[in-house]
Chain A
Amino acid sequence: MATLGDVFCLGFSFEAISFFVEAIFIAIYVYGWDRLSPRLHLLSGVPIALAGVSGSLMVLSVNAWMNNPSGFRLEHGRAVDVEPLDALFGNSYLWPELLHMYVAAYIVVGFLIGGAYAWSWLRGRRTPYVRRALAISLTAAALAAPVQIVVGDWIARQVAQDQPTKLAAFEGLGHTERGAAIHLGGWYEHDTGEVEYGIPIPYLLSLLAHHDPNAEVQGLGEVPETDQPPINVVRLTFQTMVGIGLLLAAIGAVHLYRLVRRRGLPRSPWFFRAVIAAGPLSVVALICGWVTTEVGRQPWVVYGVMRTKDSVTGADGIPLGYATLVLVYVGLIAATIWILRRLARIPLEEVLDEPR
């Protein structure tokens, strides 16, 4: 906090403003329901969306800077020649990361909401209201999921360029190689620097990282073992994320095909069962993605500049603090489920169920 706060914390200051705007207009939107004119009420929702985008841009600019730090020099443990705007927004890593996260957010929201309505649909509540809810949420997710493949490819190339050790950890590539393969599953052995029991797909890593099947990919061995992340954690979460992502893209493709060719929702109950599963799966993929990038950056908190162990607070009682936070989160999850179920029981205004 003390050493580098002046370089990146500006992002948090600007985020505070976004946060402010969001809090103000959420209040106006919620309390203005039926109390403001419909036009004004709708307009009061616009700043919420804008502030949401600008706020997340600020947070991600800080995270992107942690991955690809620039805009300062270190001198005697203090940052000097700080160019905060350049550090936060002049970062080639920010835009792929921002887009990757945004597309992921649409996938998660779309499939979570779609999953809830798919449940209603399967239980026979095929009202126009449910149909529209399904059409909106699923279509958003179905458009975003295939796009994520292209965006994921973009960010992977950026990682290969700026954080080669992280990329090597995605695969468990022990030694620098030309025409490097990707192994599905399996286990990285530290002693040999090889993946054991994985299914190899030749040339795929070189192809993905540099769009050239014979490109050279830097291995983990280029840096000392103390500078390597926990490889198997990163491998597992990366492969889980990509696997789920491809599955979600397939579900999305089915939905899009039906929409375009048959102008309607798929008939098979298996499609809706898949959508119900896709909701929680998309959350798993999202979390796996964050674990991949954050654990993959270890042992650095700011890549190549500051080690995580040097940035930890000296205060005691961290385990107790974490335990408390876990309890708070469990409580929040339980409370969220409880209130969503309560709110779902409030009957909808009849007008929504009238056929058009």
Chain B
Amino acid sequence: MSLAELPLVLTLVGLVAYTVLGGADFGAGLWFFISGRGKGQDLREHAFHAMGPVWEANHVWLIFVLVVCWTAYPLAFGSIASTLAVPLFIAAIGVICRGTAYALRSGNPSPRQDSAIGAVFSLSSVLTPFALGAAVGGIASGRVPVGNAEGHLFSSWLNQTSLMIGLLAVATSAYLAAVFLAADAARQEDRAMTEAFRRRALIAGVVAGALAAAGVLVLAEDAPSLFDGLTEGGGLVALGASLAAGIGTLALVVRSRFEAARYTAGIAVAAIVAGWGIAQSPTFLPGLTVEEAATDDSTIVVLIAGLAVGALILVPSLFVLFRLVLTGRFDMGIRLGIPPLVGGRPAKGPRLLPLAVPLALGLGGAVILIIATASWLQMIGALAILFAMAVALPALVVRGGTAEGG
């Protein structure tokens, strides 16, 4: 693998994570939509709450995919973003609407408001993965030429391959969500809920599998070069791995082994994305190879180094979040029961510096900032002012917040 290909691998890894985690999130919205009221209300609540702690982090994967692609392959990214402006715009609006719906439901809405919020939530949960899948279909079927909006504004993402991959994205999301929600329900020892989502996982799994099989036929017709790539060598291996993992997941779901099924379902999706990359390689867009699309080595080196440092923070953080969620620490109904803050010993007030200190520091910083021309001196002045503000704030707040005057 060359340096030019490394960011693409990272992009695809991000895409896998987004398809699995973001997909499960969208799928939960789909089940929210289908479950309806009455008896379905419990299912809706479960679908909504299980994703609560992780949905925002799941969607950052999309941002990761976009910015890494933009930094490392600006020409290809510009071509994709301009030709596929419509589906990407729809997806962006969809993500915003979903996030808003999540926030609004915490406002304890009336039943009528709740159903309006639910409609926005469900609709955007279906539209977004479809639009993103359609955009992927446009790239995969070679409908995004190099250049500023050189491709067709509509037929680039409204064609057989795009429709196919869009539907597959929705079905896969529903499948992943059902598996994850069944696992969450099993952890909470909710038998009826587990069974309900087990059944849904099986149905969605069969539908997604059928769509994937039909998709291969569509590709043979509509995107023959991609089809050839997927039916030979590494592409075929990846396709086979995905099929095996998909069947394995169904078998695990049948036996109610949901925790293991989470991972095999993820592998099935990862193998498909990897297969796409292998089948299309070394072409990025028609007439543009990955090597040609890549930016200067210096930018890629800094990008990789930066992401590596970021990963040192990110990976443990994600681990902590998912561990807290998967061990049920954030489940509904679990509370520590902290005693209220009355009757205890009164807290000792913090020791505060006299106000003259921040005043002198702030004025000194201001004078330096005003008269200095060297930028390092200006920085010192600015830092002195900032520090003075930080010291003065608590000292002053204590004066205003506790005094009985006014």
Binding site for B on A (CB under 8 A): 1-7, 9-10, 12-17, 19-21, 23-28, 30-32, 34-38, 47, 79-85, 92, 95-96, 99, 126, 131-132, 134-136, 138-140, 143-144, 147, 150-151, 153-154, 211, 256, 259-260, 262-267, 313-317, 321, 324, 328, 331-332, 335, 338-339, 342-343, 346, 349, 351, 354, 356
Task: Please give me the 5 A-B residue pairs with the lowest Cβ-Cβ distance, nearest first.
Answer: A5-B74, A2-B78, A314-B149, A264-B405, A135-B400
10 interchain pairs, CB-CB under 8 A: A2-B79, A7-B299, A10-B299, A35-B330, A82-B295, A138-B400, A263-B399, A313-B85, A317-B153, A328-B96
In contact, B406 and A313 (Cβ under 8 angstroms): no
Chain B interface, DSSP helix/strand/loop, else mixed:
helix
Interchain CB contact (< 8 A) of A317 among B86, B108, B324, B386 = B86
A21 and B317: CB pair below 8 A? yes
Task: Across the interface, name the chain B residue whose C-beta is closest to A80.
Answer: B296
Please tell me if the beta carbons of A9 and B71 are within 8 angstroms of each other in the complex. yes
* B33-41, B197-205, B271-279, B340-348 - interface stretch: B340-348
Docked Cα-Cα span, A150 to B71, in Å, equals: 36
Q: Are A332 and B336 in contact (CB under 8 A)?
A: no
- Cβ of B206 within 8 Å of any chain A Cβ, yes or no, is no
Known: A5-B77, A20-B57. A266 touches B362 (CB 8 A): no
B378 on the interface (CB 8 Å rule)? yes
A143 and B393 contact, CB distance less than 8 A: yes
**With the chains together, A313 CA to B53 CA distance in Å?**
36
**Given A12-B70, A343-B107, A263-B56 contact (CB < 8 Å):** no
List the B side residues contacting A328 at CB < 8 Å. 93, 96-97
Would you call B149 and A315 a contact (CB within 8 A)?
yes
In addition to A20-B64, A28-B324, 11 A-B residue pairs with Cβ atoms within 8 Å of each other are A6-B71, A6-B296, A13-B307, A17-B314, A27-B53, A132-B397, A135-B400, A143-B392, A153-B370, A314-B148, A335-B104
**Using Cβ atoms and an 8 Å threshold, which residues of chain A touch B334?**
35
Q: Does B329 contact A (CB under 8 A)?
A: yes
Q: How far is the CA of A219 from the CA of B53 in the complex (A)?
A: 55
Q: When each residue 262-296 of chain B gets 1 if its CB lies under 8 Å from chain A and 0 otherwise, what string results? A: 00000000000000000000000000000000011
Contact bitstring B95-123, A, C-beta under 8 A = 1, else 0: 01100100110111100000000000000
**Within the complex, what minimum Cβ distance (angstroms) separates B167 from chain A?**
24
Q: Which residues in B have their C-beta under 8 angstroms from that of A27? A: 52-54, 56-57, 321
Chain A: CB-nearest residue to B78 = A2
